[in-house]
Amino acid sequence: MLIGSAAIIAFVLILLAWAWRRPEGKGADERVWTLGLGVGFVMAVLVALVGYGFWVGERILPRSDGAVRVAAEARQWGWAFRQPGPDGQPLETQEVLYVPAGVPIDIEITSTDVIHSFWVPRLGGKMDAVPGRVNVARLMAHTPGEYEGLCAEFCGLGHSFMRFSVIVYEPGAFPDLSNRQTGGADE
């Protein structure tokens, strides 16, 4: 967005300088300004933005292609995740989500109290967590590492502390959980 807005500002400043520096008596054809730059430029920018929006939006839509399903439950002021563990049994963790690299993950997002928003800035779009409703978003991390996630919807006084980690690991190499806080599947 910064690059796009900088390009538009630079284009407008160039046009402004061009309009002020034109010699006396030589007027530009109004159709060039109105149709070419007024309508044509705006339509080109809008088409590019809508195309980019479709591309980004399509990436986070869930599909029925057998992707791993993870449950994310928001509450004031934390996150609980239920995901497949290393042995295939459900594993519940607090504030930490484990996902394999290069594998699409469908995250079922809900809330127990107020509206929250699940967002991992380096991995994709955000999705609201609404009480009584399950929203599904797709994420796929290509590179192993640790990514920060957060609640992107103001949800009360503890909102700024509502963060979580996404640990992306190589497929088949589930991380050692002995030094992480986890809960049992029936807690």
pLDDT in the model for residue 146 = 94
- 77 and 155 in a single domain? The answer is yes
Instruction: Name the domain boundary from 14, 29, 59.
Output: 59
- 17 and 84 in a single domain? The answer is no
Q: Which of 58, 68, 120, 56 is nearest to 99 (CA)?
A: 68
- 36 and 12 in a single domain? The answer is yes
Characterize 97-109 residue by residue with b for buried, 16 or more Cβ atoms within 10 angstroms of its Cβ, and e for exposed.
bbbbeeebbbbbb
Query: Considering the entire predicted model, what is its pTM?
Result: 0.65
- 34 and 87 in a single domain? The answer is no
Q: Which backbone phi and psi does 155 adopt, to 5 degrees?
A: -130, 15
pLDDT in the model for residue 187 = 38
State how far Cα 186 lies from the chain centre: 30
Number of domains in the chain: 2
Q: Residue 151 belongs to a domain with what CATH number?
A: 2.60.40.420
pLDDT in the model for residue 46 = 86
- 14 and 104 in a single domain? The answer is no
Residue 163 domain boundaries? 68-183
pLDDT in the model for residue 172 = 78
> Would you call 100 helix, strand, or coil by DSSP?
strand
Tell me the pLDDT of the chain (187 aa) as tens digits. Answer: 788 788 888 888 887 787 777 666 555 566 666 667 777 777 888 898 899 888 877 776 777 777 888 999 999 889 999 988 888 788 999 999 999 998 888 999 999 999 999 999 888 778 899 999 999 988 888 999 999 999 998 988 888 889 999 999 998 788 777 665 544 444 3
Q: Would you say 44 and 4 are in contact if contact means Cβ atoms under 8 Å apart?
A: no
Q: Which of 58, 69, 154 is nearest to 104 (CA)?
A: 69
DSSP at 162: -
pLDDT in the model for residue 73 = 95
- 89 and 16 in a single domain? The answer is no
